[in-house]
Amino acid sequence: AAKRDHRKIGREQELFFFHELSPGSAFFLPRGARIYNTLIEFIRGKYWERGFEEVVSPNMFNIKLWEQSGHWQNYREDMFGLEVEKEKFALKPMNCPGHCLMFGMRDRSYRELPLRFADFGVLHRNEASGALSGLTRVRRFQQDDAHIFCMHDQVKGEIQGALDFLRDVYSTFGFTFALELSTRPDKFLGEVSVWDQAERQLAEALDEFGVAWKMNPGDGAFYGPKIDITIRDALGRAFQCATIQLDFQLPERFQLQVRAPTTADDGEFQRPVIIHRAILGSVERMIAILTENFAGKWPLWLSPRQVMVVPVTGVVYEYAERVRQQLHAAGFYADVDVGADTLNKKIRNAELAQYNFICVVGVQEKDEGSVNVRCRDDVGTKAKGQTIPAGAFIEQLGALKSSKSLDSKLVQ
């Protein structure tokens, strides 16, 4: 387990580090930022497929917003407050109140719903310094956060869409998951009857999703019941990352409304429902889990070190650099080792650095326009790689990256 510790791997692979001058906030180095951005782009691609609209919202709000949302009364200890021109402000610990302002900025029609706002904005939560632990407990983080504004009769369909979304993402990582329905806590906002209705809709959606689930009484958020998702990684360890929460309270507090269909019985306007949902949860925490899950041996599509080009002699340095440039132009993280080490030492260094592929190039490869490929996940190629034309290798690499396979073997 110590070998898999994400803090150790983060240092060794130069992914991220922490500094006492900003406790609980990670510094992501270039290679760590590659993983960070790849995860965000992965979710962004899914948003495009699933009809989410990305928004960008402020980091700092007057506390009047947090008083209106109920967070100031229930969550103040976990927020960073500051004074600006004699007014009290706070850094946002979550995106939902800001999204309510965006929804309420003009009249809305029921025809616009469901409206799915997604936000990768920076969040701050004032975790006690003793609780900070690597990337798993931080003060500054980003989430793949989204809020779905929908009508009551759309809730079940949206919940089912959210469950399908998380199955899609977690299966890509090779994770399994368990589901629990968390119901009304002792400290809650709103009417008991509204809570009962919310819990019933979530239970129906879970039943129809077809995965076994359990009841978790009294563990809901103060503003609504939720579905807690516990994932299990390759080591069988359990983590909670995703969340799907129903919220009947914020629409009331922000007086959100939509113009109702002319056939509606209950007047000209109706309250929408908000569904809060995240799949990765905190991107920082997910990187910690994935680092330990893969033990630093990243699958190609997530890897910050995809290809190392190793020239056999100085005569082919120029060709080696040309191959690296071709790989770079095709969108791969490629490096070339023109250092003074022996060939075997260069290959060993690249293996220890967990490059997915090592391309050895000599005079023969230069003359042929080829590369001799060793694959980290294919033991048969380690002693003597296979020689393939550079263009064909890049094509095969592209297919492997697109497949998001957990195994880095080339598909012939």
Catalytic residues: 96, 125, 143, 145, 147, 226, 276
Contacts of 284 (CB under 8 A, 6+ apart): 26, 135, 138, 141, 142
Helix, strand, or coil (residue 307): strand
Contacts of 344 (CB under 8 A, 6+ apart): none
Beta strands in 272-398 (DSSP E): 273-282, 307-311, 334-336, 357-361, 370-375, 386-389
CB burial of 55-76 (b: ≥16 within 10 Å; e: otherwise) equals beeeeebebebbebbbbbebbe
CA distance 342 to 250: 64
Contacts of 185 (CB under 8 A, 6+ apart): 218, 219, 220, 221, 222
The reply to whether omega before 311 is within 30° of 0 (cis) is no
User: Phi, psi (5° rounding) for residue 106?
Assistant: -155, 170
Is the Cβ–Cβ distance between 120 and 143 less than 8 Å? yes
CA distance 93 to 214: 29
User: How many C-beta neighbours within 10 Å does residue 83 have?
Assistant: 8
Q: Which two tokens stand for residue 130?
A: 């003793």
